[in-house]
Amino acid sequence: MEQDATGSIAAATPEAFGAWVRPHLAAIARLAGRLAPEGDRDDVIQEALTRAWSKWSQFDPSRGSPSAWLLAITADQARRARRRVRPWPLFDSPARVRSIDDRLDLEYAISRLPTRQRLAVDCFYFAALSVAETAAVMGCAEGTVKSTLSDARARLKTLLEFGDG
């Protein structure tokens, strides 16, 4: 089946699925790039889309947007990939921040955040997901995302100013 923005259904062909996925691919890639083990981003995207394709008939537009559904699947596949293989990094671009010192400080501080806060930061600031999409990935309400981000910023402020001991 294919469901467009209005929820209408078309034939369940790979081409129709591709057209349905295409607008969300950039966000899927950003999230996978952020959460997948190093070098596994494209594998995670592939596995997420394979999973989505096999579950497409179960997508219910009344329960969330296509992007939220696809991003939640992507995050799940990234988690599975990490369990399956090695401890690989969230950050795989040496050019992701402005300077060496700032990069090390900020990366280190982010790495010291509790898991949920770190996930919120990764989704919102790095993968550039909306609050609603971040909530879908985290499996919580949008208000919880906002409060988690606020807590994360407060913790980062402390970590960057005073270190973590």
Partner 1 sequence: MDDIERRLTEAGETWRDGQAEPPSVDVLLRGIERPAGRRSLRWIATATAVAAVVIVGAVVLGPRLGDLRTGSDPTDEPGVLHLVNVDGPDVVISIGGQVVADLPCGSSRELAASDSLPPLPWALEVRAADGEVIGTPTIEGPLPEGLLVRERIVLTQPWPMRIGPAPDNPNAPCEGPALPSSSPSPTEPPISAEAIDGDYRLVFELAKQVWTTDESIIGEARLERGGASGWSVWGSGAGPIAFGLSEVGGPRQVGPAYRLDCAMHLAEDSRGLIAPLSKSGGWSEDDPLGPFYRGFLADPFYRLPRGDWEITAFAGFSEGGCGRTSHDLQATLRIRVVEADSTSGQEPAHAGASDGLFRLVFDAPKTTWTTEESVSAAALIEYDGAESLTVAGSGGGLIGFGAVELGGTRRFARVGQDDCSFYELSGGQPLISGLRKSSGGWRDTDPNAEFYRSFMADPLYRLPPGDWEITSYAEFYEGECGGTIHRLQTTIVFHVVPGVSP
Does the footprint of partner 1 cover residue 12 (CB under 8 A)?
Answer: no
For residue 34 the two structure tokens come to 């952020």
Does the footprint of partner 1 cover residue 137 (CB under 8 A)?
Answer: no
Q: Which of residues 41-60 bind partner 1 (CB under 8 A)?
A: 41-43, 45-46, 49-50, 53
Q: What is each CA distance from 42 to 25, 26, 38, in whole angstroms?
A: 11, 12, 10
Tell how far CA 7 is from the center of its chain.
24
Q: Which of residues 114-133 bind partner 1 (CB under 8 A)?
A: 114-116, 118, 121, 125-126, 128
d(CA 96, CA 114): 21
Does the footprint of partner 1 cover residue 8 (CB under 8 A)?
Answer: no
- Choice from 3, 61, 65, 107 touching partner 1 (CB under 8 A): 107
Q: Nearest approach, Cβ of 57 to partner 1 (angstroms)?
A: 15
d(CA 131, CA 95): 25
b/e code 30-69 from CB counts within 10 Å (16+ = b)? bbbbbbbbeebbebbbebbbebbeeebeebeeeebebbbb
Nearer to partner 1, 8 or 158 (CB): 158
- Choice from 38, 64, 76, 142 touching partner 1 (CB under 8 A): 38
Q: Give the amino acid at 120.
A: A
3-state SS, residue 119: helix
Could you tell me which of 92, 97, 87 has the C-alpha nearest to residue 125? 97
- Which region among 4-12, 64-72, 90-98, 131-139 touches partner 1 (by CB under 8 A)? 90-98
Does the footprint of partner 1 cover residue 146 (CB under 8 A)?
Answer: no
- For binding to partner 1 (CB under 8 A), which residues are involved? 14-15, 17-18, 21-22, 25-26, 28-30, 32-35, 38, 41-43, 45-46, 49-50, 53, 78-79, 82-83, 85-98, 102-104, 106-108, 111-112, 114-116, 118, 121, 125-126, 128, 153, 156-158, 160, 164-165
